[in-house]
Amino acid sequence: MAPQPCLDRLDKILIGLTIAVISVVTIGRLPPGICSADSGGLQLACATLGITHPPGYAGYASLGYLFTLVPGVDPAYMVSLASWGCGLITLWLCILIQVRLGVAVGVACALALVLTAFPRVWSNLLVPEVYLPSLLFEAAAAYMIMAYAGDGRPRSLYLGAALFGFVLANRPPAVFAFPFFLVAAWLACRRRGASLRASAARLALASAFGVLPGIYTVGYLWVRDAPDTPYNYLEQFNAEAGILPESEDGAAAKAHRIFWLVTGRQFGDKMGNTLTGVRYKLLWLRNELLPFPWEALQLMPYRLIVAIDAFAILTLGVVLAGRRCPVAMWLLAGMGLGSILFVCLYRVNGDAADILPLLFALTVLIGVAISPLLPARGNAWQRGVAVSLAIAALAATTVLAPARRKTGLNMDALPFLAELDMPSLPQDTVICSHWGSSTPLWYAQRFIYNRPDVTVINAPDSEWARLTEDLRELPIFGTDPPAPEYGFAAEPYRNLWRLEYQEATEGASPP
């Protein structure tokens, strides 16, 4: 059974220093305001209690909205700050879970710092995204179920179930981890010595707590899916695609829209894979987890040695975790294998591959594998080595951080908006844009410049003529020059393009 970690003064100092160093090297790299693309969409949804891209992220929008109420601070920046804070708490949980499984605090801190060196973890620390908040709730759910297995307090189990339910309601790929979390919760109930009937009753009550976030999500989307919601992705998507019924067409139409949103039907064509595709994704995953110059190793034995070493460390970590706390082993397996299953099924590489739970689980298991050499309650020599590792990792993070990616600042849309100079645009301007620039334009229209007369259209340039057909008499601009066959002549205007209708060429979409 995983005991409650008892931290002394030095342990607390090391953990505090770890979080403080990560904070110092990252906070200056957060975007100062609204971002482009999906990050901007999340900021906009939080600031307006709106609905963003599938699955809508009702829970994140609700929590983020609370942060945007801080007076005197740009709401978009507060959302970035909230997402960044979720990342810091996640790293803190990574340390605590390791310590609970018998890892020395110094080793746990060092590995948490190494975790931030992975580009995907580092990038998500610096931008307002859903991945680190999702990982936070999943890791917190795992920690609470482990706590219940250790102390037997039902409230820990119920809170863990509610936290995991929150992840399921806001990040559907977590469904792949659900069976593992369910087994872990059942084992935790049974290990408390309760009868089969009592264990089943407690698990059923925990499941009820897990359903509550989903009920809230459906209720939120039902209320906020309306034409007058300042940012409603369903409305703007349907204006372009026209495949959904209107929200005002009755309860059945609204239910259809919400089901389409929460199940991610828009991305259904990206799910499913062939054996060749799975093999490719596994190779991609290997390169993500082991950023090693594989191409430089021409001889197969060298690659084999690296692979065997990694497998041996992982196997040792799984075995030790299973012996110390079977509940924890199932939880970590859910986080890791759930990520792998989704990666193999989702035919897109990038942040949406959801490998952060896998990285988190592997970090914990590596710490557990090291723990026989450097245990949580080791002698003075072992403790000194663990502390030295933490200090070395702190120094390396401080020195190397300036050379890492500036993802947050690169996502900053304020320079684009400054050059655009929305206040001086003509009355009733129409701006046609793509997804990357539409979210900051909507935000600027509402929160920065108060230009309700400006209309922002988000669609491919092939659709701009159709969507502006009834707006021909108004000044129309584009964030990019459309192809001539799409019915416009384009002239540069600041960082926009002034669009004028012209006769469509043969085969073009009619304006």
φ, ψ (nearest 5 deg) of residue 167: -65, -45
Quick one: average pLDDT of 12-18?
Answer: 94
- Average pLDDT of 6-30? 91
Tokens representing residue 482 in the block: 């459309």
pLDDT at residue 24, as a whole number: 94
* Cβ contacts of 235 within 8 Å, gap of 6 or more: 227, 229, 247
DSSP character string of 260-294: HHHTTGGGGGGB---HHHHHHHHHHHHHHHS---G
- Residue appearing with tokens 């001086």: 424
| Model pLDDT for residues 233-285, shown as the tens digit of each residue | 998 888 877 888 988 888 999 999 999 999 888 887 777 778 888 888 888 88
List strand residue ranges (DSSP E) for 380-503, in order: 430-433, 455-458, 476-478, 488-493, 496-501
Q: Does position 478 have pLDDT exceeding 70, yes or no?
A: yes
Q: What is the pLDDT of residue 133?
A: 94
In the block, residue with structure tokens 């986080």: 335
Quote the pLDDT of residue 353: 61
Handedness of CA 398, 21, 37, 56 (dihedral sign): positive
Summarize pLDDT for 435-470 with one digit per residue, the tens: 889 999 999 998 999 899 999 988 888 888 888 888
CA distance 398 to 392: 10
Average of pLDDT values for 365-393? Answer: 91
**Distance (Å) of CA 217 to CA 160, 168, 173, 200, 247:** 18, 10, 16, 27, 17
| pTM for this entry | 0.90
For helices 37-48 and 435-443, the axis angle rounded to 10 degrees is 30
Task: Please indicate whether residue 441 or residue 485 has the higher confidence score (pLDDT).
Answer: 441
Which residue has tokens 């594989």?
294
Reply yes or no on whether the pLDDT at 507 is more than 50: no
User: Cα(160)–Cα(348) distance, rounded to whole angstroms?
Assistant: 31
Instruction: For the sheet with 476-478, list strands across it.
Output: 455-458, 430-433, 476-478, 496-501, 488-493
Pick from 199-213, 339-353, 440-454: least confident:
339-353
Distance between CA atoms of residues 137 and 175, nearest Å: 14
pLDDT of residue 504: 47
Between CA 312 and CA 349 the distance in angstroms is 27
Tell me what the mean pLDDT of segment 420-435 comes to.
91
Q: What residue spans define the domains of the chain? A: 9-209+269-401, 414-501
Cα separation of 270 and 20, whole Å? Answer: 39
